[in-house]
Amino acid sequence: MSILVTGGAGYIGSHTSIALLKAGYSVIIADNFFNSRPEMIQKIEQLAGKKVIFYEVDVTNEQAVNQIFIHHQIDGIIHFAGLKAVGESVKKPLKYYYNNILSTLVLAKACHKYGVDKFVFSSSATVYGDNKVPFVETMDLLPTTNPYGETKVMSERILTDFGKVNPNFSVSLLRYFNPVGAHESGLIGEAPNGIPNNLMPYITQVAKGKLERLRIFGNDYPTVDGTGVRDYIHVMDLAEAHVAALEHLTPGVNIYNLGTGKGTSVLELVKAFEDANGITIPYEVVARRLGDIAECYADVSKAKRELGWEAKRDIVTMCRDAWRFERYYEE
Ligand code: WQD
């Protein structure tokens, strides 16, 4: 089977492309390198030991996307391509709504036009808003604090409504918690452009000496130690969950939380990183970050029950693999 992976040169897309190739799928990657680099394609092929077909396209470009469907037999789509910086989305809402919503519309329209009925969508735990933890797929969604989160809610709704009138259409909405870590080779990983927004890449850059110290955004939350609690999941566990979701697709809409089901605070993650790698991470506590919630972690029983999938890699492995990638990584 041939799978179109949009954003396949990105952090989660590249790891998933490797998992797909290893599972015997053919992979077509569509990416515009907005938040990734051309050398990722060669690294994916090297790590998977197989070739991919690659198109440098912006998936909001309907004509360019249609050309891929015209020239290739596509059996399914995994749609990663999108902007994902929460803070930036507050400052540039139109950029986020345009890019993230139009890309979903273009791809759903192409599925209809070319008869592709398997769709896996990269969604996010952000859609839950400030619900009560642990988050469960059946929960009513609450308003998110940012346009990025709203684009995920809207894309889920577009695909759900499209599924309602196309009985053969199978869509899996995968709600990621906090993806971290890197492929065990250290060859690929999370390489954000500029100063990292997310905690783990910030920690690894402090460890490397690129950044002076970690700023912990608030220690007065109602949590175990006052710092924010999140459900960190290894990116390779996440990648393998996409293969499982693809293999278990059935007509209709299925929603799955992809996390470990365990919450880890900022201070606990810092300590885990220090213990796993024998490095001290200097930090200072500063004011809370706008839009942050105290706790976010998943009820992961549905993915285990229906996909036969659960996260296998622990927080120590996440910290070791993240650090290995940072050490080897050259800008
Ligand atoms: C984690 C914790 C911060 C940086 C976001 C998106 C989510 C997904 C993952 C796209 C929080 C604290 C962070 C720092 C800190 N992105 N922190 N100092 O905000 O949970 O989730 O990224 O899909 O959709 O919402 O991740 O890594 O930014 O923050 O203290 O320099 O670390 O306050 O408690 P977040 P994060």
- Domains in the chain, CATH or no CATH each: 2-182+232-259 (3.40.50.720)
Mean pLDDT, residues 123-145: 94
Distance between terminal CA atoms of the chain?
Answer: 35
Whether ligand 1 lies within 6 angstroms of the CB of 124 is answered as yes
pLDDT above 90: percentage of residues in the chain: 93
- How far, in Å, from the CA of 297 to the mean position of ligand 1? 12
- How far, in Å, from the CA of 198 to the mean position of ligand 1? 5
Task: Give the model's pLDDT for residue 194.
Answer: 85
Q: Which residues pair with 254 in a beta bridge?
A: 172
Pairwise CA distance, residues 145 & 128, whole Å: 10
pLDDT for residue 175 is more than 70: yes
Q: Report how far apart, in Å, the C-alpha atoms of 221 and of each of 140, 149, 167, 199 are.
A: 24, 22, 45, 17
Mean pLDDT, residues 272-277: 98
Nearest to 208 by CA among 329, 68, 83, 69: 329
Whether ligand 1 lies within 6 angstroms of the CB of 86 is answered as yes
pLDDT for residue 9 is more than 80: yes
pLDDT for residue 330 is more than 80: no
Secondary structure tally for the chain: helices H, strands E: 11, 14
317: tokens are: 């492995």
pLDDT digits 0-9 by tens, 190-234: 987 789 999 999 999 999 999 999 999 999 999 999 999 999 999
The catalytic position among 11, 25, 96, 148 is 148
Task: Give the model's pLDDT for residue 331.
Answer: 67
pLDDT band at 35 (very low <50, low <70, confident <90, very high): confident
Task: Give the model's pLDDT for residue 87.
Answer: 86
pLDDT digits 0-9 by tens, 154-168: 999 999 999 999 999
Helix (H, G, I), strand (E, B) or coil at 133: coil
89: tokens are: 């989305």
pLDDT for residue 115 is more than 80: yes
Whether ligand 1 lies within 6 angstroms of the CB of 230 is answered as yes
pLDDT for residue 291 is more than 90: no
Helix runs in 209-254, H state only: 235-247
Mean pLDDT, residues 7-19: 98
Mean pLDDT, residues 11-20: 98
What's the predicted TM-score (pTM) here?
A: 0.97
pLDDT band at 322 (very low <50, low <70, confident <90, very high): very high
pLDDT above 70: percentage of residues in the chain: 100
